[in-house]
Structure formats: structure tokens, C-alpha cells
Structure 1
């Protein structure tokens, strides 16, 4: 049994190490799929368990692919560029005003289009916006990186971790959002207070006297904005009739794709397939299989003993802290896959785990793949974040956000 546990942990470490390093830019699935094959070959996971895990994850992976395409098409329609122009103009050269606008925009984008849209699409736009109006970009870039994790608490569709836990929570879409609204606002407020203080020097340096006009240079992409609004409404309205959010996201993506497919259908179809990031979907499936091997052994038993058995204030705080620690040890996706089955159908504990796996990754680079991707985006644009600065900011925000999030979640459960 101990040898099996060691083998499972070794495979998981190899898969995560490859995902963090991504040598030569290879996709995470290059290591994860062989890793899943190894745990099956070693007899750590049976074929029936593999089948059950793939079936359970399929709707979640399908939604992930659809929302990635949706966000890509929103960008192609100019939604992110237009939003950058709007907040750049509204800031009127004030770094502090721009930071407030960035917090509003990044929180909404993360909640509605998922954290990947904030990292991959919004971060470069905000870098360009800050540079164009002449303010220091650091506070606004760190805001994007942190809010990609913490602002993903609001909706089941905001984060892959939320989707993995949503069914286990037993909550409806609207009840999930109602319970998480107060924690979402609380942790975003904490992030804003800390970042404003930490980056006081940057925010105290105003832009040059000549700043762009407040009026955007491009017309609003009303069609795309309308499709996104309809998609968000569809997420809330579809559940009572038993329609999975993946179908709503796919419908929204089709709505945005149709105008573009009429001109160069073959080339656009290839871009859409690329935007769906199918290799990452394969990574999620394979990671689920590898985590099964770890969860079934002594490590899973040890984690099980640490999980609180009640959803009181202290129990939820314990679950959130455990989830945050585990996210920084093994990444938040494996942490979610390990913890959610242990707290399934205890809504308070499920949501507390989500607080931990979504807030915790702001402490270290390895906490979430989104954080690693954010770092890669900034490196590719010659604005690499400092490791020491990232850790210091995480140490200031993560404990405070966990406390604020758990306290407001506990209050929300009492109210609702």
C-alpha cells in the first residue's frame, strides 16, 4: 500500500512539475496523459474508475472549452480592447482611479468569462492601457493576477474549480451566486485595500499632463456585448429546466462565431478549435485519473482526517485553510479533486474549500495554472513580476482574504 501511495505521489509530482515548467512550451497533457496511463498500468486505478472519472468530468471540460472559445471570440469582436479604452479614458490620467476601474472590470470579466479571460486577454489590454496613458503598470497588472483567482468566487462558471465542486454542493446556480456574493465582494475589497497600500508609490505618480480623451476611439461592440449578456442570463435561467451551462456557453460562442465564419470559414474554424485548448481538456481528464490514485491511498486518508466534520465558523475556516495549503503544495486543481468528494453535499464546507483553492493560489506561483500563465504573459511582454514581491503581496492578502471570505460566507449561510 505504501509503495502504491509513493508511486501515485511520484506520478502526480511529475505531472505537476511538467505543468509548471512547460519545457519548450509543450502542453500540460504531454506529461499528464502518460501519467494517467502509468497509474492504470500499475493497477493503482481500475478501468471502471477511469471511466467513471471521465464521465463525471466531461460536462466540466466541455464547459471549459466552450467558455474559452466564447472569451476568444469576445476578444476578436473587440470587447476587451474597447473596455481598455473606456477605463483608460475614464481614469483621466489618475493611477488610483485607473486601479479602481481595473478592479471593477477584472472582477466582472473573471466572474462572467472565467479567470482565463482575465489572465490571457485582459492583462495585455491593461498593460497597453496603462502604458498608453503614461501610468506605472505594476499595480494594475498585479490586480489582474490576483483577481483572476479571488474574483472567481462568484459564479459556478467563473473557475474550473467552481465547476468541479458545483454538482457536489447540491446548490442551484442562483443560490450558489447568492451565497458567494458577499465573500466575493469582501475578498475583492481586501485585495484593493492591500494593493493600494503596497503600491502607494506607483499610484502616487500621476500620468503626464497630456492624456487620451475620455471618449473611446472605436465604437462599442454592441452585438458582442448583447450576446455575452444573453449568455450570462442563460446561465442563471437554464438550470431550472435541466440544461447544463456548457450548452449555454456553446450557444453564446456560436452566436459570436457566426458573423466571422461567413468570411473565411476554414481559417476561422481552425482558430476556434485552437481557442478551445483541447490539450488542456485532456490534461484535466488525465489529472483527475492521477489524483484518484493518490486519493485512494494513505495520503487521501490523511487529508480525510484533516477535513472538518461540521460547517460551523471554525469548521469552514479549517476547511478553507486546508484547501489553501493543499493548493500551494499540489496546485489548486488536484486539491479540489481531492477535497470536494470528502465534503460533498455539505454546502458550507464545499464553498469554504472553494474559498481556499481560489484565494490560496495568490500565495505562490504554483498555486494555480492561471497564476503561472499570468507570469508567462508578463514575461512575454517584458514586464516579469518579481518573485519576492509576489510572495510578499500574497502573504499580505491571502490570510486576510481567507478570514474575510469565511466570515462573510458564514454570515451568508445564516441569512440564506
Structure 2
């Protein structure tokens, strides 16, 4: 998929379908987003190599005191924190295998934990600009509506974020209630870890949260964190520093999507979507817009869906409705978000079989519950 998007991006520029002005506009918007993506991925990968995620999962297992339902709730907390601070892709790529390995070691059904991880990656990615690439892109647009910085962004998203989280937990808890009964034994001993890399990575991850809400451009603290960890690993565990740490496939994919969707906008995509999106500011108007964004995401992936629907927002609250649709909505099709595709790969690698029809049916229920709840909560911030 990444190379198709890359070739498509090159093609629209090479053929002149996207002119020079459009290309420079895309480059200006994409550069800080891609810089953040590169830096935070390096941070997450090195934190995983240091054992931070494994330690957090084992801590959750001990705190669960042998009760499966309590362990599941602690995984909800862990997945939410990972998504909010380190982005949904971190949860999908790095937390998923840790949680699945823990479930296997404790002899628990892995499906509730697997599905919970990917749902949290999507539904809890609304709170901070750094939680989702769509949020980072929307941060600049928010300024045009008089909302600036992380504080202004979060003032509009905290209530929909909480509503989406509650909706997801209720649906998942009811759907997997039988598997979450019972108890489990003590987790096996933790593997040996280098204390310097472990504690450095743990402190860096903890410091990122206040840094991201401080108002500084998110790419800056992420880059500083990546450099600090890279230096420590160069001294202590040089073999962990490899080219594959850089998410170059994702960079190519995102760059291509930016270019293709901008080209489609130039050639009339906005006019096609306008009748579906509506124009009003009430609950039903916001729900219509969020529904349009969610439908588009499940058809064509959430990032191009956001880029396509964003011009139809027209206000800060309507823009949050778009984000609700593209962040909480991608629960039905496996290609609705990159995080879901990455999650499927991790499940396959761990030998966990995901029934896509059942995944889609449960996801449809999740969208029907979470998106309206989040839109209703959005009205509290008006």
C-alpha cells in the first residue's frame, strides 16, 4: 500500500495534475507532521527495546491481583495513556505484541485484549494534537478559527475524548464479558534489562506528556527525546540503533496521501462531499458531518478522509466533529486506519486469528455508540 501511495503522489506532481502552488502548500502542512512522526516513532521503538512497555504490562498483571476483568481495565488505562502521549500507531505496533504475549503467558483468551488494544488506539486518539496525525494536521486549521495551541485544542476535545472512551469500554466489556471472567496466575519473571536504558527511556516517556501540552511545537520535544535516547543507546546498546527504526514506509504513504487528496480537492472533491456534510452547528449537524467523515474513513482510510472532509468544516466545533469521525469511526474495515493494518500484522505474527466479519460487526456497533456519544459531548464545549 505504501508504495502505491508513493507512486500516486509522484504521478500527480509529474503529470501536472497538482501545480506548484498546491505542492508547496502540501509540503508546508506535511513537514511538521512527518518530523513528529519520525521522532516519536524512534522514541517509541527505543522505549520498547529498553523494556518500558513490557514492564508496564507486567506491572498491570501484578496490580490485577489475578482477576481477569481488573487486568483488562488496567490494559485499557495503559493503552489510553500510550495513545494519548505517544500516538495511536505506538499502541497498535508496540503495545499489541506485549499485551498478547502477556495474555499467552497468563493463559488468557487473547482476543479481548487484542481487540481492546486496536479500539483504544483509534477511539482514544482525540485528546491531544500528538495523539493522531489527523489532530496534528488539524492544529493549524484550528488557528484559522481562533483556537491556538494544545490548550485550545484540548478544551474542545476533552469531553468527546471521555465520551468515546466510555463508549468503547462499555461495548467491549459487554461483548467480551464471558472471556473476562475468572482468574489468572502470577506472571513469569521479567527478563534482565539494562537499568540505564530502561530508566532513561521511562523518564523520557513520562516527560513527554507535560512537554506535549506545554504549547511547544510537538515535533521539538519529540526530536529532543529521540536524540537523548539515541545517544544513550549508542553508548549502552548500539545494536538497537538500526535504519528500520525510521518509519520510512509510513512517511512515503502519508506524503503520497497528502499529494493525492490535495489533487482531488483541486479537481472538485469538495463539491462532491458538500451535500453529505451539511453546514449547521447543532447536534444533528455535527453528527451528520462526523458520520460523513467516519464513512469516508472506512472506505478510504482515515488520513485521506480527514484531508478530504476538513475543508467542509468551517468552524472549530465542526472541525472537531470531523476529527471525531476519522478518529473514532475507523472500527469497521481493516484499512480504515493505518493503525488497524499494523495491528493486524502484529496479531498475525503472534498467531492470533482475527475474524474480519466479526471484527467489522463489532466495530459497526462501536461506531454507532461511540461517535454519537462523542458528538453529544462536543455540545458541552460550545
Task: Give the TM bin, normalised by the shorter chain.
Answer: over 0.9
CA–CA separation in structure 2 for the residues paired with 1:110 and 1:127 = 17
1:211 and 2:180 correspond:
no
Q: Who is 2:170 aligned against? A: 193
1:398 and 2:375 correspond:
no
1:73 to 46, 67, 71: 46
Q: Who is 1:202 aligned against? A: 179
**SS of the residue aligned with 2:213?**
helix
For structure 1, which segment, 117-126 or 40-49, has the greater mean C-alpha deviation from structure 2 after superposition? 40-49
CA–CA separation in structure 2 for the residues paired with 1:357 and 1:328 = 9
1:168-213 CA deviation, whole Å, 9 max, x = no partner? 1123201212322222121111111111111122112433xx4338
1:88 to 46, 55, 61: 61
Q: What are structure 2's unaligned runs of at least 5 residues? A: none
Change (3 A) 1:325 1:211: same
For structure 1, which segment, 47-56 or 397-406, has the greater mean C-alpha deviation from structure 2 after superposition? 47-56
Moved over 6 A (4+): 215-220
CA–CA separation in structure 1 for the residues paired with 2:28 and 2:126 = 25
Q: Who is 2:272 aligned against? A: 302
1:258 and 2:226 correspond:
no
For structure 1, which segment, 150-159 or 128-137, has the greater mean C-alpha deviation from structure 2 after superposition? 128-137
The alpha-carbon deviation at position 75 of structure 1 amounts to 0.9
CA–CA separation in structure 2 for the residues paired with 1:37 and 1:130 = 43
Q: Who is 1:11 aligned against? A: none
The alpha-carbon deviation at position 103 of structure 1 amounts to 0.6
Q: Who is 1:326 aligned against? A: 296
Does the CA-based 8 Å contact 1:182-1:408 persist in structure 2?
yes
Q: Who is 2:249 aligned against? A: 279
Does the CA-based 8 Å contact 2:49-2:240 persist in structure 1?
no
The alpha-carbon deviation at position 330 of structure 1 amounts to 1.1
TM-score (norm 1): 0.85
Does the CA-based 8 Å contact 2:48-2:54 persist in structure 1?
yes
The alpha-carbon deviation at position 309 of structure 1 amounts to 2.1
Aligned residue pairs: how many?
A: 375
Q: Who is 1:14 aligned against? A: none
CA–CA separation in structure 2 for the residues paired with 1:63 and 1:73 = 15
The alpha-carbon deviation at position 297 of structure 1 amounts to 2.5
Does the CA-based 8 Å contact 1:88-1:130 persist in structure 2?
no
TM-score (norm 2): 0.93
1:293 to 246, 263, 282: 263
Q: What are structure 1's unaligned runs of at least 5 residues? A: 1-18, 20-27
CA–CA separation in structure 1 for the residues paired with 2:155 and 2:191 = 37
For structure 1, which segment, 120-129 or 222-231, has the greater mean C-alpha deviation from structure 2 after superposition? 222-231
The alpha-carbon deviation at position 149 of structure 1 amounts to 0.4
Q: CA RMSD in A?
A: 2.0
